[in-house]
Each structure stands twice: as structure tokens, then as C-alpha cells.
Amino acid sequence: MWRTGRVFCFGSAGKRAVGRCCNNPRRPLSSSAPSKTVKAEKEKRKRGREEAILSSQHGKPMKWGAKQETVYSVPTAPGQKKDTSLPFPPTYSPTYVESSWYQWWEKEGFFSPEQHETLPHAVDRTFSLCIPPPNVTGSLHLGHALTVAIEDTLVRWRRMQGYRVLWVPGCDHAGIATQTVVERKLLSEKGKRRQDFTREEFLNEVWKWKNEKGEEIYKQLKSLGASLDWRRACFTMDPHFSRAVTEAFVTLCDSGLIYRSEGLVNWSCALESAISDIEVDSKELAGQTMLSVPGYKNKVEFGTILSFAYPVDGHEEVVVSTTRPETMLGDVAVAVHPDDPRYQSVHGKQCRHPFTDRVLPVITDSLVDMKLGTGAVKVTPAHDHTDFLLSQKHSLPRLTVIKGDGTMTPPCGQWLEGVKRFDARQAVVDALVERQLFRGKKSHSTYIIPYSIRVQTHILLIANSCSSSLHRYRSVKTQNCRKWGESVTEIKRKETGLIGNPDVLDTWFSSGLFPFAMLGWPEQTADVQHYYPNSILETGSDLIFFWVARMVMLGKELTGQLPFKQVLFHSMVRDKHGRKMSKSLGNVIDPLDVINGVSLERLQEKVMEGNLDPREQMVALKAQSKDFPQGIPQCGTDALRFSFALFCVPQEYVKSVQPRQQNRNCSEVGSDIKPSDANTVLYHCVSVCLALLSPFMPFVTEELFQRLQPFKHGSVSQDSLCLQPYPCSSQLNHWHFPEEEKAFLLIQEVVRTARLLRAQCGLTKDKPAMWAACSPSQARILTRYGSAVWTLGRMSNLHIYCPTGADATCSAPPPEGSLIGVVDHTCQLHLQKGLNADKQIRQLSQRRDKLVPKLKEILDSLQSPDYLTKVPAHVRHRMDNKRAALQQELNTIECQLKALQEE
């Protein structure tokens, strides 16, 4: 169900007609200029990115060195708990740390909501959500991995908070996408096409593919650490899910929300199937262009507009323009604007079709744009949306002239019957020239290639109960001639007049039922009662109209409730060049390649194994060579997940959290701490940090948690960290000492300055004595935490001197000529010289060169016009202190340099 790209194919238009074909600008009706502009800009950006990739200009490649890999080699049966009594490897190895844990979690049932009853911290609340079911067409890429990482973090967080949690895995049958992949596989391996199999035989081949690829996807999800309840895994064509689809279809029909009618659809000749409107991409051409079309040896010309004449009664003619001359065999009328003075004389008259001798009335309609083309429109209702509307308005017939396989139909005449559509195009042009009705051809600069259209029956869901903003997304069409999907043939109910049909439902219809069908709906199962509606939905923003809107409409109509009340959207994963991850671009990266590492050669083999356009393949290979010249190093699951977390969390939040993390529990470090108390504090800090980090990095935190248990006093509440209570601020109130934390900021700065002075004097191994010249309040803090300062600053003693006030604990002034380090504007550290003068001068000069630009930056900020009005008072106070400290340190350095230079 996850979108991995749109369908691109060429073909012909008509009844069960073609893939990609040209639009018909010959109809001079109002067009969507903004849409054309957007598409043109999109194509321009795409070309610009491709040129940037192919050019020689690119950034520095990622550098990394190979690290020693350590494997967990203890014999451990699947599901058996890992042995953590062994010593840690000398260097961190993801292969070692992440081994065996997931199998143990799964076997113990930690991911099941039933384990909720065993939690001592359980609360009477539920948390449920559904994973966007990935298509069985292939493996997951980093875009999917981002979704999994975010959702699993939410799930693990709620589970640790004591919620009853259900997260259901599943796969989507992916309709035409899967069918196309299997057809290509059968053609390459067995040399057979879909038409060579019966429906049952072909479906057996697709089920084989599903079983193979479904297991591969589930393996990827487990490697990503997704804590899904695998006992509830579902597939959108499982028997119970098929029953849900049937029930939904019949219920909507009984409610009068589904009916059959004629309409136009996008049709692909290569697939011989309808394509959903929102799965269609258009291609804009700048003019005459030769393009390759499947099934044709030579390239086909696009981007031109042809004009020809229709004879009118009374020796007159009407000239019309078209980009698709072969569709003129399906023309049923010519339309002009009622106020166009050029055609006043032909109102109500009739034209004669030159090839079929059919009579075509000249109709008038205000939809016609007099300024476009000749001002006259050929009306082909079976192959144009606007012409279809005109046929409804004027009661015109609809003639289909192109079959589903892209060949011309019998009504075209024996000379064209069975001829391929683009071959017929040239034959029609030659015949018009022969009859002297051809009026010329020219390049069409705003030419758009959409998917072709044809007349067929389809199903509409009118979502009256939903917001009007969703009405434009109400179509739930059947997909003609598809074999893989929920068959309408099997949905029969004579009492309602609903009969069988060989078509299958659009795959989005099935996936739209996922939030409640995965729980057992339409039966009122215990899961439906407990976990529906879902708590939230988390997905990518590209699925808003593909999936989210359908779930909202179907859920509201079929269950009477919204399937969820909150939707979280994450941003898209793009490559270095700003392109979205897409198999059609060849820039997708398998998350397992990041977890386990992969060589550049293997990355490029995967690109060449795909079915890419030659140019796209060239661009993809070039991009990989530039971006991953050494391949991708082994990163592990935890590193990948945490990088996604940093990717989604604003950096301002990270920066605001860092000071709090650094200051947590520092108040307990003092001279009166006993070793046993220090161990208790250390255990508490580490265990709380592991619990906080567990939802983001489950493997390494579980490994460390299990190794930490021998040091815990008392029994452990749960076997696994993933079931431990999640820390909350109220539980840490007794560890919060605001005054001590504020005081310890001075200790940190004193230690930093002491280490700087020792480095300047080259005393990296010695522990010298130092003097602190400070205020009385600072002296009391330094005295209280003296042992911490000595230990962390690596000094033998700290003499405290208060030049501004008498204190019994103060020592004598620091020795003359000592090296000075500034802590702040009221505190300085002194260290007796132990280094030659030249080296001290060089180090002091380097320090001064670093401080000058910092002071200038602060002064510029203080002198800005809106500084006093826009900057909060506490920020101004902090900036003033920082400015004073820098100025004090620079003055001290200047004095020291002067003294050293005079020696």
C-alpha cells in the first residue's frame, strides 16, 4: 500500500485502450494553466537535479574507516535469552549487541497486548495504530524505515507507560503493481504472458510471489526492531479481510452510495487495466518529440498538432485541430461557440465524415474557447473527458475506436481494423492528404501527455457523510481486466440487484478498510471493541489522499466513527540531490544495507537488476558513485533509528534538552558521598537514561540494562527493559536540587579552566596545586565541592583566596607571575609557571585570537537597534556576564603577554 512510485507506460486510447498517450489540445476549451505551470516547474527541477548529478560538481564524499566486527558466538536457540555474562567486545559492534534480542522479545510475547495484565504499573488505557501496509511488490526502503522507526518509538513509549498496546503488522496485495511485477517475472523466466495462463493458474503464481516477498518484508521489519504483534498479522486478501471487503461493498450498495454508470477512465494498454486518477503522472513536452512506446519498433512522434477539414453542407468546411488524428474515427459532432462570428453560417448544419460517411452535427456550446486553435472542436466522447460531458449535454453517441490492447476496432473499417493505434495514426493522416482534407501540422509548445481514457462502467462512492473537502476524492473505481485483487464477481447479492463482474476493486478500497478490518470487522470481535477507533495514525504526507482520506470516509460510513482522531505526518526521506526515494529513479536504499553495510558494487548491481529507463539508470549509477564511493558502512539498527529520531526532532529542542541532561544529579557529587551512595546514584542515573532511550534504541539499551542488573539492590520488576516503567518528571522530583545544580555550573567552569591551564603548561600527567581568586559566595561553593574540583580538574590542591572579603578558610594570595585563567568576571584560577616563556606566549596568543571574534560577535548583538526591546531580560543578563568574562580574560591575557615579553 505504501507508494513507491507511479505507473509509467505507453499505449493507445479507446475501449479497453491504451497506456500513456497524447492529450488532445485540438479541443479549444479552457485549460488549467496553473496545473501546466506546476508540471513544467516539476519537470524543470527534475532535469536540473539530473544535470547536477551527471556534472563533475559534487560535494565531498562520506569518509569512513572499516571497523572490526565482533560476532556474538554463544550458541543460543531462537527465542532463548542472550547470555550477557560475557565481557563486552573491545569496540562497539552492532552485530554483537543486536544479536538474539528480537527473537527473545517475540517468543516471550512482550509485543502482545495480553502481557498488559502482568505489568505492575499497568494503567487502564489503550493505544492502537495500524502500520501503513507495505506492498508485496518488493522490499522496504529508507522511507518505509522512517515510518517504522517513528511508529515503533511511539508504541514502545506507550507500552512502557503501562498502556494496553496493539500494533498490527500487515501487507497490501498492491493490485496492478504486484500483477505487473509477476507478469514481468513470468515473461523473463518462462517466456509466458498473463494471457497464457488461466485465472486460477495466474493467481497461484502471484500467491507464490506474495509468500516470498511478504516474508522478506516481515524480515526487514523485525530487523528494524518493530515491536509488532505478529500473531495478528494480516494480508489484504486473507479470507477474513476479503469478507470485510465484501461486507463493505454490499453495505455501501444497500445504502445507495455505490452504483454503476458509464464514465471515462485512464487506461493502460501495456497493463490492459484502468489506472486510478491519482496514480497518473503527466509529462509535458516543449514541442515535437520522438518517444519510445512499448510494442513499437520505431519511436513515435509527439508534441505536434494537426489540422484537417470536415466538409459542411453547402460547399463550406470547418477546420479542426488535434494531436490524435486516429481518434477522428470516433468523432460524432463538431462544436463551436455560439457567439463566434466565423461560424454563424454553419449553426445547425451537418458535416460528413470522410471515412465512415457518418453525419456529424455542428453544435454550439459556450464551453468552446474561441481563442484557441481554429475555434472549432471535434467531439470524441469516448476518448476525451470534456467531449464526454458535451455528449451528455447534447445527447450524442459515444463511439469507442481503440480496443484495450491498443488496436483499432471494427467500426473504424476493414482498412484499420486490428491496426495498432500509432500505426493507424499515420494511415489516417495519409488518407486525409489523399482526400485533400489535410490542412497542416505544427509543433505544439504546451503539449501534455496524460494517460488515455475510454468508456467503461465504474463504481462511485459518494461520501455524503464526510467533509466536503473530501468529495473530490470519492471515486472508488473498479480495475478492469485485473486478475490480482478483490473480485467483484465474488460479491453477489441478488436481493439488492448486485450482480457479478469480472473486474477487481482498486487496491486502495481494501487498504481504506485497514484500521478496522485488521481487528476482525465486520464481526464485533474483542479487538474491535477494545482497539477501535485507533489512537492515532502516523504516516507520510504523500498518502493523505491516497490512503488517509479513504480510511476516513469508509470508516465513518461503515462504523459510524472516525478511524482515528489524530494524524501525525512525517517529512519525506530524500537523497542528497533532493529527490524522493523512488524505485523508478533507482535511488532507494534498503535499510538492511545501512544496518549491515554494503559495497558500492552491490548497490549498483541492485540498480541494474531493476527495470529502469536507460537514462534513469545512468543517473542512478552516477549518483551512487558520487554519494557512496566506498559503499555504506555497517551502522546497526539503533544508529539508523536514532538518526531518524534526530531527523524528525527540531534541533532547537535538542539544544534545550542538552543543558538539563548535563546538570542532572550533579549535586550528589561531593566530599560527603560514600562509595555505596555513589554506586546507588550512578545506577539510578544509568538505569533512568537507558529507560528514556529505550524506545529510540531498543537493542543497545536492552544489552546494557541486562548487564546492569547484577548491580541492582533488590529484584527487577520486569525481565526486559521494554516493559520497565517509563520515567516521568514526577518520579524524579526528589532528585531535583535547583540550588545545587546552579552552584555546580561554577564547578564545571572551574574544572574547564583548570584543564586549560594544565594543557598550556604541558602538565597533562601531573597534578599541580592551583589558586582560585574569587568572591566569598564562590569560595563557599568551591570549599563545599572541593573534592570534586580536585578530582575532575586533576590538581593536588586548590587554595581559595578572597580579595574582596575576609574569610577564615581563605589562603594567602596566589604567587606573583603565575599563569592566570579566567572563570568569569569575579573568579580567576592561578597556576605557577612550569613552561618556557616562548611556548606560553604562543599559547596565550592563540587563545586571544579565538576570544577576540567571540567578543566582537557579542558586542555586535548588544549594539543592535532592537536589542533592549526584543531580547528577554534573562538573556540580556547572561550576555552581559559572558561579555564581562571575555573582556576580563582578554585583559588578563594581555597583561600576561606583556609580563612574559618583558622577562
Say if CB 129 and CB 192 are below 8 A apart: no
Angle at 508 between CA 506 and CA 510, to 5 degrees: 90
- How far apart (Å, rounded) are the C-alpha atoms in residues 161 and 727? 8
- How far apart (Å, rounded) are the C-alpha atoms in residues 511 and 553? 12
Which pLDDT score, from 0 to 100, does residue 628 have?
Answer: 87
Task: Kindly report whether the peptide bond that precedes residue 533 is cis, defined as omega within 30 degrees of 0.
Answer: yes
Which pLDDT score, from 0 to 100, does residue 242 have?
Answer: 87
- How far apart (Å, rounded) are the C-alpha atoms in residues 323 and 327? 9
Which pLDDT score, from 0 to 100, does residue 594 have?
Answer: 93
CA 691 to chain centre: 27
Which pLDDT score, from 0 to 100, does residue 281 have?
Answer: 65
CATH for 278-457 is 3.90.740.10
Which pLDDT score, from 0 to 100, does residue 578 have?
Answer: 81
- How far apart (Å, rounded) are the C-alpha atoms in residues 510 and 135? 12
- How far apart (Å, rounded) are the C-alpha atoms in residues 468 and 561? 17
For residue 173, the 8-state DSSP code is -
Cβ burial 57-69 (10 Å sphere, 16+ → b, else e): eeeeeeeeeeeee
- How far apart (Å, rounded) are the C-alpha atoms in residues 598 and 635? 10
- Dihedral sign for Cα 57, 60, 62, 64, please: positive
Which pLDDT score, from 0 to 100, does residue 463 have?
Answer: 39
- How far apart (Å, rounded) are the C-alpha atoms in residues 711 and 137? 49
CA 10 to chain centre: 29
* CA distances, 332 to each of 336, 379, 394 (Å): 14, 6, 11
Collect the ranges in the chain with pLDDT lower than 70: 1-40, 42-43, 56-66, 259, 276-283, 314, 445-504, 611, 649-676, 714-718, 805-809, 833-836, 902-903
User: For residue 306, how many other CB atoms are within 10 A of its CB?
Assistant: 22
Angle at 316 between CA 310 and CA 322, to 5 degrees: 25
For 703-749, give the DSSP string.
HHHHHHGGG-SS--S-SSGGGSPPP-GGGGGGG--HHHHHHHHHHHH
* CA distances, 379 to each of 328, 388, 411, 901 (Å): 8, 8, 17, 96
Which pLDDT score, from 0 to 100, does residue 3 have?
Answer: 45
Which pLDDT score, from 0 to 100, does residue 442 have?
Answer: 85
CA dihedral 842, 848, 854, 855 (to 10 degrees): -170
Can you tell me whether residue 593 is helix, strand or coil? helix
Which pLDDT score, from 0 to 100, does residue 452 have?
Answer: 43
CA dihedral 388, 389, 391, 392 (to 10 degrees): 120
Distance linking the first and last C-alpha atoms of the chain? 79
- How far apart (Å, rounded) are the C-alpha atoms in residues 164 and 113? 5
Domain ranges across the chain: 70-99, 105-257+508-573, 278-457, 578-648, 675-735, 737-835, 847-902
Residues 54-83 pLDDT 10s: 775 555 656 666 677 888 888 999 999 999
- How far apart (Å, rounded) are the C-alpha atoms in residues 3 and 558? 25
User: Number of C-alpha atoms within 13 angstroms, CB side, residue 661?
Assistant: 11
CATH for 105-257+508-573 is 3.40.50.620
Task: Kindly report whether the peptide bond that precedes residue 803 is cis, defined as omega within 30 degrees of 0.
Answer: no
Which residue type, as a one-letter code, is found at position 691? A
Q: Fold identical between 105-257+508-573 and 278-457? A: no
Which cell is 57 given?
Answer: 560538481
Which pLDDT score, from 0 to 100, does residue 175 have?
Answer: 75
- How far apart (Å, rounded) are the C-alpha atoms in residues 587 and 628? 12
Which pLDDT score, from 0 to 100, does residue 467 have?
Answer: 35
Which pLDDT score, from 0 to 100, does residue 834 have?
Answer: 59
Helix (H) or strand (E) holding 121: none
